[in-house]
Amino acid sequence: MSQQPSPKRPPSSRERPDVIAARKVLAEMWPGPARASSVTLLKALHVLTREGGLNLDTRRKLKQVLHLVQLLRPSLDALLAEGTDPVIADLGTGKSYLGFILYDLVVGPAGLGSIVGVDVRAELVERSQALARDCGFERMSFVAGGIADTVLPNGRADMVTALHACDTATDDAIRFALRHEAKVVALIPCCQAEVAALLEQAKPSPIDQLWRHPLHRREFGAHATNVLRGLVLEARGYKVRVTEFTGLEHTLKNELILATRHQQSNPLARRKLDQFVEQLGVRPGLLDVMD
Ligand SMILES: C[S@@+](CC[C@H](N)C(=O)[O-])C[C@H]1O[C@@H](n2cnc3c(N)ncnc32)[C@H](O)[C@@H]1O
C-alpha cells in the first residue's frame, strides 16, 4: 500500500520562533511555560518585541505586575471559588498591564469573573478595548472616566485594584471600594502631595521636626497618607496588611496595602484614626469617608 502524504498542518504554537524565544526570556518570571496566546498579548502590550525578546523599557513593569498577581492570587482564587462571577475593578488602569495579565493568567482560565478597567484617558481606554477584543477576552471591559464618578453596573465591584494611581486617585479608589462594598482592596500608592502641602501650613506641634525640611515633609507626608489609608480601611471594617510588593530595584513605589473586608466597622481602629489625625494636626480629604 502506498503511503499517503500527510496533510499539511499549520505550524503548531511550539514551532513559532517568537514563542520559543519568548519562553526562554520569560522562563524565570512567567508562571509556567507561556502559551502562544500569552506571547501574542505580551507583544501587543510591547512587553515583548516582535521576535519574542524582552523589551527593556517594560521589563520592570512586567516584574511588578507578575509579583502583584502572585500576591493577589489567594484573594482572587477565594473570590472565584465563591462561584458568584466576581467583578474586579482596576482603577487608574493606564495601559492595563495588570488587568490583561490577570485575565490571561487567572480570570480567563477560571472561566468566570470579569475585569473592568477604569481610566480618565479615553485614548488609552479605546486602545485597551480593541486589544481585549483582539485577544478574545470577552469578560474584560473598560470605562473612560474619573474614579471618583464611576459606578459599575449594579454597583458591583468585588475586588478593587489600583496600581500607582496618581496622588489622591488612590484615595478615590478607596472611596470607590467603599461605595461598591468591595470585599478585597489592593492599593499600591503612587507619589502623594496633599498631606505635605497641608503640613506646611499646620500649626506648631511637638512632632513638627518630622516635617520641617521639604524633603522630609514630602516623605513623611506620603508615609502619613498611607498610614491614614490603612486606618480608614480598618475603621470601615477591613483587615489590612501592608507589605512591599516587589523588589526596590523594580520600583520605589513599592508599598502594597491589601485589605479584606471582614466586618461592618471597627470602633477601635476608628479611635486610633482619630488620635492619629489629632496628633498630625491636619485633615486630609479622605477623612470625608468617615463622616
Ligand atoms: C501612573 S499610571 C499607572 C497605570 C497603571 N495602573 C500601571 O500601573 O501601569 C496612572 C493612571 O491613572 C490614571 N488616573 C489618574 N487619576 C485618575 C482618576 N482620578 N480617575 C481615573 N484615572 C486616573 C491616569 O490617566 C494614568 O493612566
**CATH class, 59-290 region:** alpha beta
Q: How far is the CA of 121 from the centre of ligand 1 (A)?
A: 8
What whole-number distance in Å separates Cα of residue 21 and Cα of residue 24? 5
* Lowest-confidence pick of 153-167, 215-229, 251-265: 251-265
Query: Which has the minimum average pLDDT: 15-19, 112-116, 142-146, 218-222?
Result: 15-19
Using a 6 Å cutoff on CB, does residue 245 contact ligand 1? no
Q: What is the mean pLDDT of residues 209-231?
A: 96
Integer CA distances (angstroms), 87 to 98, 169, 184, 198, in order: 15, 20, 11, 36
pLDDT tens across 248-286, in order? 666 678 899 999 999 999 999 999 999 999 999 999 999
Nearest alpha-carbon partner for 188 in 118, 119, 114, 259: 259
Evaluate: CB of 62 within 6 angstroms of ligand 1: no
* CATH 3.40.50.150 residue spans of the chain: 59-290
If you measure from the C-alpha of residue 5 to the centroid of ligand 1, how many angstroms do you get, rounded to a whole number? 56
Testing ligand 1's pocket by substitution, the residue of 64, 102, 119 carrying the most ligand atoms inside 8 A of its CB is 119
Helix (H, G, I), strand (E, B) or coil at 243: strand
Question: Ligand 1 centroid vs 25 CA: distance in angstroms?
Answer: 28
75 vs 59, more confident: 75
The residue whose CB lies within 8 Å of the most ligand 1 atoms, and thus the one to mutate among 65, 120, 124, 175, is 120
Which residues have CB under 8 Å from 95's CB, separation 6+? 45, 124, 127, 128
In 3-state terms, what secondary structure has residue 283? coil
What is the overall mean pLDDT for the chain? 92
From the CB of 92, is ligand 1 less than 6 Å away? yes
> In terms of Cα–Cα distance, which of 158, 200, 203, 160 is closest to 183?
158
With a 6 A CB cut-off, is 144 part of the ligand 1 pocket? no
Q: Which of 106, 93, 165, 100 is nearest to 137 (CA)?
A: 100
Nearest to 233 by CA among 187, 190, 279, 284: 187
Give the model confidence (pLDDT) of 79-128 as tens digits. Answer: 999 989 999 999 999 999 999 999 999 999 999 999 999 999 999 999 99
Percentage of the chain surpassing pLDDT 70?
A: 93
For ligand 1, atom 1, name the residue with the nearest CA. Answer: 164
Q: Given a cut of 70, is residue 8 above it in pLDDT?
A: no
Closest protein CA for atom 27 of ligand 1: 94
Q: Looking at ligand 1, which residue's alpha carbon is closest to its atom 9?
A: 94
pTM tops 0.85: yes
Q: What is the mean pLDDT of the segment spanning 228-250?
A: 91
- Looking at residue 250, what is its pLDDT? 64
Average pLDDT in the 25-49 region? 93
Whether the CB of 169 sits within 6 Å of ligand 1? yes
Res. 1: pLDDT tops 50: no
